[in-house]
Structure 1
Amino acid sequence: MIPALPPSSPLRRALSAVAAVLVFALLVAEGAATGYVPTAVATFVTGALCVGALVVPVGRFPMTAAVAVAASGALSVVTMQLTHRPEVTPGAAELTALLLLVARAVRTARPASAAALSAAGGLAAGLLPLRLPRAEYVNLTEFGEAVIFFSLVLAVLLGLLLRLLDTVRAREREADRQAQRLEYARELHDFVAHHVTAMVAQTKAVRYASALGHAPAPDDLDRMLAGIERAGSQAIESMRDMVSVLRAPGEGPAAARPAGDLDGELRGLTEEFTAAGPATAEVSLAPELTGAGYGLRPELTTAAHRVVREALTNIRKHGEGVRWVTVDVRPSPAGTLTVTVTDDGRAPAHATAAGAARAAGKAATADGSGASGRSGFGLTGLAERVGALGGTFTAGPREDGTTGWRVAAELPLESWKP
């Protein structure tokens, strides 16, 4: 595919100048062929108007095209009454410009304006050959008008095709913008919710202990406040990273992804989760995935990191009586990377219906349609992220009948190199 030239490139300006000179020379030659100064000037002017209407901005096109078509038709009618007529040309450049005007009208104008301009342009194009001497009318009737008619049909079809392509491109651009907005929303949630939830959880723990008359010891209080401060700093840093990505031209939020050792990244998440208390978390990572050379695509490591972080955030926000959390990441024989986060907590009271539905065979969905108390924008974003990679995502009560919650993602491993 040949890349488009930048609007301000020297080559594009040079080509435009050459094209303008050639069109100008052709219009002058066609005007001079009339052999009569008034018609020569008029032919040049109407031809220039038709050519100029092809390059005006879209907002000015209907009015400019109407003036050009009216001038061309008027000149043809007047020339038919004159004795001095062109003998060698009916205005080929002007005829071509009229046909292209019809195509542009069909492509860009509103339906009513497009129909009016197409009809007027077609009439002007049909009248243009009648500027020749009357002796040529027989040949025009047999050949010329038929050629113009079929050329007009092709111009209309060309305009319709271009209009359809423009519509498809507009829809694709809107779909891309919507996908980008969703990606921004997912990244913003991932960056902020995890750290802010940690701050809220630790603050609630201090208030709860104080309300029971068991104010934390100074050392414990300092440790909790330090954790809140650390979570706040991380939230600010994450927001700064997000803003820097948004300000960087040509980059999307996918650029702000965790880097380095997957094992270290996941253990950092679980250590942060455990530090906020009271539950503990541990990571079980397949040996072949440890170290910097584990060979997973960046998209997979990012998705695995996001799944674990969102699951831990939801446990902190919604889990009741959680004592332990297990994070398990390993390749499966089916050629997928399995990421599972399991806890032993009790579901909130308002999630009981969702658990009963799942036990009856109606799986709660990640987008919250199962009325799960742990659903929300985070799980919706995870489902979208995993789905974009061709994987599957589930979230709901544990299927073995024991108390707890399970979040699992299956990611394709076609690019994995053990």
Structure 2
Amino acid sequence: MNEPGLRRWWVRLAQAAGLVATGLLVLFDLRYGTSVGLSPAALLLLLVRMGLAAATVPLWLPVHRLGSRRLPAAALALAAASLFVTLAIRLVADSGYLLGGSWGLAESAGLVAVVFAVTRWGAARVAPWAATATGLAAAAIPLRAGADSVYVIFGLLQALAAVGAAAVGVYLRVVAAGRARAIALVRAEQRAEFARDLHDFIAHHVTGIVVQAQGARFVAERDPQRVIAALEQIERAGAETMASMRRMVGILRNPDAAPDAPLAPLAGVADLTPLLDGFNGTARTPARLHVDGALDGLPVEVSTSAYRVVMEGLTNTRQHAPDARSVDVFVRRTPDWLLVRVADDGTAPRTPPARGHGFGLVGLTERVRALGGSVTAGPGVAGGWVLDAALPLQPAAVR
């Protein structure tokens, strides 16, 4: 199971557990509330408590969008309603009219859960105020049953629970923000790497075009036929350069991200054999290359990205599958796609490299998706680990 699927499974499990717990607390409140009799005032109070408890569910149950403004606003309204009910009950109790019943455990638990949801997903400017108001409402609920010291202690305990929920929410928010910054940094570095690749490729081919144009000028009078051949080569190189430049510049968002880089050919699918030879020279696991189709004439960004896919797959095998007996690298070319697969037969349990502190697959996914392709990684059907990538060869395939 991949990371997003595992996260969704845990979220659904937590939602189901929360609903079950809320249902049990509601049943407790109903049983305890009806045990003191069903006077009109007690029945009205019971219905109000159940309504407030139910109103908390839409706030803490869903996974809200980070920075939501509606969530803190709804929490403030709910906290105000709960505090108003508590104040009204105290006024009635102070007048000598005893309502009886519990103070509402379902509502208390719901408000504590709302504190967590607000601190985790609420808008940063409003979330502290909404969390504070909701926590105060949860702390004041036990006073509905009386002003004795035992109810004050229960109020303090519920206040501590609200503080704990807020701390957990803030912690998860900070962790998620840190991971988002790390992923954004990886993506920015990947785009900068695209820019360096663009610089290398354009410089390499433009230099060849200049050399061919200079040579054609010198042989123009002696051998006009060679001039025609040179012009054809210049035309092909220029067309390939412009096509790749249009595709890659469309990927880059920051035009100033391209630093100076050495003028050198880029590593592509033609360099896979030396890459596997180097891997076999340093690893106990033999790697085999399987090629289906001609690999010449590939767009440079597709060729270099395929090379990076294989390199990431071999690195993943070296780091996470020391017991693997073999690694197979498959490269297949179709009319519209270049398909790359790196599969090993390791038995050691692994998680997707995008989890934890590994961001190699994150950057690789950003690179391939920028070209209109896709990357998947996970356990193979027959065991081991499989890294698959599909890279489009034509702009039409991207669309």
Q: What is the CA distance between 1:45 and its match in structure 2?
A: 1.1
Deviation at 1:94, TM superposition (A): 1.9
Partner residue of 2:296? none
1:145 aligns with 2:155: yes
Query: Which whole-Å deviations, capped at 9, do the CAs of 1:187-210 have from their partners, x for residues lacking one?
Result: 333344322332243234445x49
Q: Secondary structure at the match of 1:33?
A: helix
> Within 5 Å, which residues of 2 pair with 1:170-319?
170-206=180-216, 209=218, 215=221, 217-232=223-238, 234-235=240-241, 257-260=267-270, 293=277, 295=279
- For residue 221 of structure 1, report the CA deviation from its aligned partner: 0.8
Larger radius of gyration: 1
**Root-mean-square deviation (Å):** 4.2
Extract unaligned runs of 5+ from structure 2: 35-41, 253-265, 283-299, 301-362, 364-399
Aligned to 1:407: none
Q: Could you tell me which residue of structure 1 aligns to residue 83 of structure 2? A: 73
Paired residues for 1:99-110 under 5 Å: 99-110=112-123
CA distance in 1, matches of 2:157, 2:15: 29
Give yes or no for the alignment of 1:124 onto 2:130.
no
Matched residue type, 2:150: N
CA distance in 2, matches of 1:28, 1:52: 19
Kindly state the Cα deviation for residue 17 of structure 1 after the two structures are TM-superposed: 5.5
Residue 53 of structure 1 aligns with an amino acid whose one-letter code is L
- In 1, the alpha carbon distance for the partners of 2:83 and 2:204 equals 71
- Distance in 2 between residues matched to 1:120 and 1:127, nearest whole Å: 11
CA deviations on 1:256-304 (whole Å, 9 max, x unpaired) are 95234679xxxxxxxxxxxxxxxxxxxxxxxxx7x98454799xxxxxx
Q: How many angstroms apart in 2 are the aligned matches of 1:72 and 1:65? A: 10
CA contact (8 A) 2:52 2:107 kept: yes
Offset of residue 128 of structure 1 = 0.2
CA shift digits 1:331-389 (9 cap, x unpaired): xxxxxxxxxxxxxxxxxxxxxxxxxxxxxxxxxxxxxxxxxxxxxxxxxxxxxxxxx9x
1:49 Cα deviation from its structure 2 partner:
1.6
The answer to whether the Cα contact below 8 Å between 1:46 and 1:94 also exists between their aligned partners in 2 is yes
Q: Structure 1 unaligned segments of length 5 or more: list them.
A: 247-255, 264-288, 299-308, 310-387, 389-418
Aligned position for 2:128: 115
State the percentage of identical aligned residues. Answer: 27
Partner of 2:151, secondary structure, is helix
Q: Does 1:34 align with 2:33?
A: yes
74, 99, 117: which one pairs with 1:64? 74
Report the CA distance shift for 1:4/1:225 in structure 2 as closer, same or farther (over 3 A).
closer
TM-score (norm: length of structure 2): 0.52
Give the superposition deviation at 1:120. 1.3
Task: Provide closer, same or farther for how the CA distance between residues 3 and 91 of structure 1 changes in structure 2, counting only shifts above 3 A.
Answer: farther
Whether the 8 Å CA contact 1:49–1:68 is kept in 2: the answer is yes
Shift of 1:14: 8.0
TM-score (normalised: structure 1): 0.50
The 1-side partners of 2:21 and 2:158 are apart by: 23
After TM superposition, give the deviation of residue 175 of structure 1 in Å.
0.6
Taking the aligned partners of 1:33 and 1:17, their CA distance within structure 2 comes to: 24
Aligned residue pairs total: 255
The aligned counterpart of 2:5 is 5
Structure 2: distance between partners of 1:174 and 1:75: 46
